[in-house]
Amino acid sequence: MSEIKIARFVGIEACKSLIKKNLLISVTISVVLAGVCVLLFASDTKASTIGTVGDILTALAAIWVAIVANNGLHTWKHQARTQKYIQFMDELTDTVLEYILAMEAPIQFFKFIKMSIDCHSEVEQLKQNNTKNSGIIAYIEKDGKSDQVQLNQYLDKVRPIRSRMMSLATKGQVLGFDKYTECYRACEMLAWSYGQIEAFAGMIGSVHLNWQNDKVQQTLGKIMTVDEESIRENIKKQNVIFLEFIKQNYRTLLT
């Protein structure tokens, strides 16, 4: 009878554990446990102890199969979730890299324009033209419109990549990554560098502005504070933050 009590105790404890994990499995085990109880009752009144223990072990084997199946389902769900997260990170990483590489062309042309503005500023100084922002005004009136067209052509190639990067970054907010705010902010700041050059392009093409207007002068002053070095530094910094996020989450998912 001690074997029967042990079997009964093991069956009940296994059932309790499964109830906590999976409702469907717990229902199955409840049915099996009910059968075990019937067998135990029969053992006390009619059947032999040896035969009843064998039946109980058979029932417990069914419980064990349910446990294995439940664990297998849990493992499959975990693997599917991990694969989904890894695919997302791979896609976002590829897009960020593609964006950074695509930004090289507009950054280089932006650098060329700033050098051209500096040349015009030196010429205006030689002319003893002390008008505020005279160099950039002279550049805009002479080459601004044509350079704007070319700069926008470079930006047009980056625009769909930028949009895809931000779309993926937004999608990632619902996936529950650790410290995802840092990743999203890094993507925003990467996109901000594009916005700086885009605003610059819009300004150099505005050849008919009133240069005496205070707000126009303030805007000219602001866009001249942006340079190629600061843009590259921002992209480098945000890329480091982004890659650190990716590395940490790969480590978490694969351990």
pLDDT tens per residue, range 101-140: 999 999 999 999 999 999 998 888 888 777 788 889 999 9
Higher pLDDT residue, 1 or 148? Answer: 148
Spatial distance between the Cα atoms of 35 and 39, rounded to a whole number of angstroms: 6
| Residues 63, 29 contacting (CB under 8 angstroms) | yes
Residue 99, Cβ neighbours under 10 Å: how many?
23
Task: Kindly report, residue by residue over 63-84, the tens digit of the pLDDT.
Answer: 655 555 555 544 545 455 668 8
Spatial distance between the Cα atoms of 31 and 124, rounded to a whole number of angstroms: 93
Buried/exposed code over 43-78 (b: 16+ C-beta within 10 A; e: otherwise): beeebeeeebbebbeebbeebeebbeebeeeeeeee
Task: Kindly report, residue by residue over 90-100, the tens digit of the pLDDT.
Answer: 999 999 999 99
Residue-level pLDDT at 222: 86
**DSSP letter, residue 254:** T
Percent of the residues in the chain that have a pLDDT greater than 90, as a whole number: 48
Residue 27: pLDDT over 60:
no
Average pLDDT, the chain: 79
Cα 253 from chain centroid? Answer: 14
Residue-level pLDDT at 70: 53
Length of the chain measured in residues: 255
Residue-level pLDDT at 80: 55
**DSSP letter, residue 173:** G
Half-sphere exposure of 226 (CA within 13 A, CB side): 21
Q: Averaged over 175-200, what is the pLDDT?
A: 94
Q: Averaged over 3-16, what is the pLDDT?
A: 45
Q: 209 in the Ramachandran plot: left (φ > 0), alpha (ψ -120 to 50) or beta?
A: beta
Q: Is 249 helix (H, G, I), strand (E, B) or coil?
A: helix
Q: Averaged over 175-186, what is the pLDDT?
A: 91
What is the pLDDT confidence band of residue 151, given thresholds at 50, 70 and 90? Answer: very high
Residue-level pLDDT at 58: 64
The per-residue DSSP string of 33-100 comes to HHHHHHHHHHHHHTS-HHHHHHHHHHHHHHHHHHHHHHHHHHHHHHHHHHHHHHHHHHHHHHHHHHHH
